[in-house]
């Protein structure tokens, strides 16, 4: 007997997309628009990192030493996002909350100032525009910044999108374009004589397909039959973040994304058009753990209020956990595999929202045999087996102390699956994981 709540469907499609996060849906939308018979399979359990994410579209702010290839890809991605977002808004009539006000990185003390100067130098070395601002200029841009802020760097090309509106618009566009969305969890890829034949769900039903796109985010390696490089190459990287909402009659406190390293801790504040502020995020190697910890909430609030003290007046509306699909080099794994008809689109780590439109374009190129933009070269056809996740070092670039925080024994997870909670009252959802 099939499990309760799982659709009982044995079906056939030209293309099955495994995973209905922003990556899978962006691909499904493009393929359906091109006339392909597409079915997206997702358990719809509200697990997607795409629902939790902060929605920064930030090539410059996310650039780091040794990651020039990823920066080039992210610059391509923000360019592709522009047209993709416009087409999505036109197709659905939805406003996905795109903000083009740039990102202001500020420093708080001398150590932070040194870190900011290093990252400004790196951006210059990569040929990116860097606008350095003194304290007064920073506070003119963002009047609620702490008076202790020392200075900053503005990245005018780093935008943000409301990832939840984006996800909802993609779901609608996929349906309107005629694609099917099937509620279920894929247990196994079916492969016959080195050629993909479809997928089998945990309830035993099979969806036959000529082509399968694997876009299951952090879970991509958990499906039977997935090629070894993907199975071993993608790991979950836990991220906790908070959502603060304005009390009634309080005006928005931020105009643009503000980020900083506060006493060695990285924090970002991403404002939405309705005044909500997303505060993120931890970076933790804890496997599939999805608990909210007291330490993470404490640290994020402390650092956010150090930067913008008035944030203490906002309502703590949500505490969320998401699992980023991490890879050994922080870049995605996109393209064909040794299995005919199996395409992977996963491993987008911290930049999956940003890279979603460019990934859809790349997968369409693979499907049609068109050439891919050169920026994709380091991230396609990756057949090397990566080191097992257990041997990877704890990633401590952003917040070593947060990485050491003990997981709470509680399974409470304050993060609504959908829709968002009513302002003023935190919503508690019991974790099913």
Ligand X SMILES: Cc1cc2nc3c(=O)[nH]c(=O)nc-3n(C[C@H](O)[C@H](O)[C@H](O)COP(=O)(O)OP(=O)(O)OC[C@H]3O[C@@H](n4cnc5c(N)ncnc54)[C@H](O)[C@@H]3O)c2cc1C
Told to check if 165 binds ligand X by CB under 6 A, we report no
| Token pair recorded at residue 157 | 């090309």
**Shortest reach from residue 181's CB to ligand X, in Å:** 11
The answer to whether residues 346 and 230 touch, using CB atoms and an 8 Å cutoff, is yes
With respect to ligand X, which residue has the nearer C-beta, 21 or 341? 21
Q: CA 242 to CA 133: how far, in whole Å?
A: 28
> Does the footprint of ligand X cover residue 43 (CB under 6 A)?
yes
| Contacting range for ligand X; rule: CB under 6 A; set: 54-62, 78-86, 245-253, 311-319 | 54-62
The footprint of ligand X on residues 352-381 (CB under 6 A) is 352-354
Sequence-separated (6 or more) residues with CB below 8 Å from residue 314: 244, 245, 246, 247, 250, 253, 277
Count of residues interacting with ligand X (CB under 6 A): 43
Q: How many angstroms separate the CA atoms of 54 and 281, rounded?
A: 9
| Beta carbon nearer to ligand X, 56 or 151 | 56
Is position 185 an interface residue for ligand X (rule: CB under 6 A)? yes
Element (H, E) at 88: helix 68-92
Q: Which of 13, 15, 16, 23 binds ligand X (CB under 6 A)?
A: 23
From CA 70, how far away is CA 80, in angstroms rounded?
15
CA 222, 226, 232, 235 dihedral sign is negative
196 in contact with ligand X (CB under 6 A): no
Nearer to ligand X, 150 or 222 (CB): 222
Kindly state whether residue 173 participates in binding ligand X, applying the rule CB under 6 A.
no
Q: Which residue number, 151 or 279, has a Cβ lying nearer to ligand X? A: 279
Question: Which of 6, 27, 56, 363: binder of ligand X (CB under 6 A)?
Answer: 56
Q: Which of 6, 31, 52, 213 binds ligand X (CB under 6 A)?
A: 52
Query: Does residue 223 touch ligand X according to CB under 6 A?
Result: yes
Query: Applying CB under 6 A, which of residues 152, 180, 233, 322 lies at the interface with ligand X?
Result: 322
- Site stretch for ligand X (CB under 6 A), options 226-234, 243-251, 344-352, 361-369: 344-352
Cis peptide before 102 (omega within 30 of 0): no
- The span of 36-44, 134-142, 188-196, 404-412 binding ligand X (CB under 6 A) equals 36-44
- Which residues, 6+ apart, have CB-to-CB distance to 18 below 8 Å? 24, 41, 42, 186, 199, 212, 213, 214, 215, 216, 223
Rounded to the nearest 10°, the torsion over CA 407, 412, 413, 418 is 160
Q: What is the DSSP letter of 196?
A: E
Q: Determine, following the binding rule CB under 6 A, whether residue 53 of this chain makes contact with ligand X.
A: yes
Q: Please select the residue that binds ligand X; options are 186, 209, 213, 234, rule is CB under 6 A.
A: 186
- 133 contacts ligand X (rule: CB under 6 A): no
CB 431 within 8 A of CB 412: yes
* Cβ distance to ligand X smaller for residue 151 or 343: 343
d(CA 354, CA 357): 7
Smallest gap from Cβ 384 to ligand X, in A, equals: 20
For 250-253, which contacts have Cβ atoms below 8 Å and span 24 or more sequence positions? 250/275, 250/313, 250/314, 251/275, 253/144, 253/277, 253/308, 253/310, 253/311, 253/314
Interacting residue with ligand X among 6, 15, 16, 21 (CB under 6 A): 21
Contact call for residue 221 and ligand X (CB under 6 A): no
Exposure string for 198-230, b = 16+ CB within 10 A, e = fewer: bbbbebebbbebbbbbbbbbbbbbebebbbebb
Q: Which stretch binds ligand X (CB under 6 A): 65-73, 121-129, 138-146, 321-329?
A: 321-329
List contacts with ligand X (CB under 6 A): 18-24, 41-43, 45, 47-50, 52-56, 185-186, 215-219, 223, 239, 241, 280-281, 322, 324-325, 346, 348-354
């Amino acid at each position: 007997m099939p499990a309760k709540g799982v659709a009982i469907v044995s079906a056939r499609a030209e293309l099955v997309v495994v995973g209905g996060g922003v990556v899978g849906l962006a691909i499904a939308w493009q393929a359906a628009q091109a006339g392909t018979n597409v079915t997206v399979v997702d358990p719809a359990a509200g697990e997607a990192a795409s629902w939790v994410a902060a929605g920064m579209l930030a090539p410059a702010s996310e650039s780091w030493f040794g990651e020039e290839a990823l920066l080039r890809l992210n610059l391509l991605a923000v360019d592709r996002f522009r047209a993709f977002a416009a087409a999505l808004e036109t197709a659905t009539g939805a406003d996905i909350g795109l903000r083009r006000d740039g990102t202001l990185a500020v420093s708080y003390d001398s150590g932070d100032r040194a870190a900011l100067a290093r990252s400004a130098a790196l951006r210059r070395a990569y040929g990116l525009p860097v606008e350095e601002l003194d304290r007064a200029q920073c506070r003119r841009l963002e009047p609620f910044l702490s008076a202790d802020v020392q200075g900053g760097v503005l990245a005018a090309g780093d935008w943000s999108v409301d990832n939840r509106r984006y996800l909802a618009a993609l779901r609608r566009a996929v349906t309107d374009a005629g694609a099917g969305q099937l509620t279920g969890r894929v247990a196994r890829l079916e492969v016959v004589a080195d050629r993909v034949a479809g997928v089998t769900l945990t309830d035993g039903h099979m969806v036959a397909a000529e082509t399968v796109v694997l876009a299951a985010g952090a879970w991509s390696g958990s499906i039977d039959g997935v090629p070894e490089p993907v199975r071993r190459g993608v790991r979950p990287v836990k991220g906790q973040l908070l959502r603060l909402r304005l009390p009634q009659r309080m005006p928005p406190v931020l105009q643009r994304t503000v980020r900083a390293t506060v006493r060695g801790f990285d924090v970002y504040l991403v404002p939405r058009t309705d005044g909500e502020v997303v505060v993120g995020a931890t970076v933790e190697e804890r496997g599939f753990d999805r608990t909210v910890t007291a330490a993470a909430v404490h640290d994020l609030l402390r650092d956010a209020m150090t930067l913008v003290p008035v944030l203490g007046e906002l309502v703590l509306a949500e505490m969320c956990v998401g699992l980023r699909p991490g890879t050994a080099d922080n870049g995605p794994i996109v393209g064909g595999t040794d299995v005919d008809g199996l395409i992977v689109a996963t491993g987008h780590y911290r930049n999956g929202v940003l890279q979603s439109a460019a990934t859809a374009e790349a997968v369409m190129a693979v499907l049609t045999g068109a050439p891919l933009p050169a920026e994709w070269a380091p991230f396609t056809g990756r057949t090397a087996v990566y080191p097992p996740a257990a041997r990877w070092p704890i990633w401590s670039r952003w917040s070593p102390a947060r990485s050491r925080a003990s997981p709470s024994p509680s399974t409470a997870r304050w993060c609504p699956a959908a829709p968002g909670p009513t302002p003023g009252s935190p919503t508690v959802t019991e974790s099913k994981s």
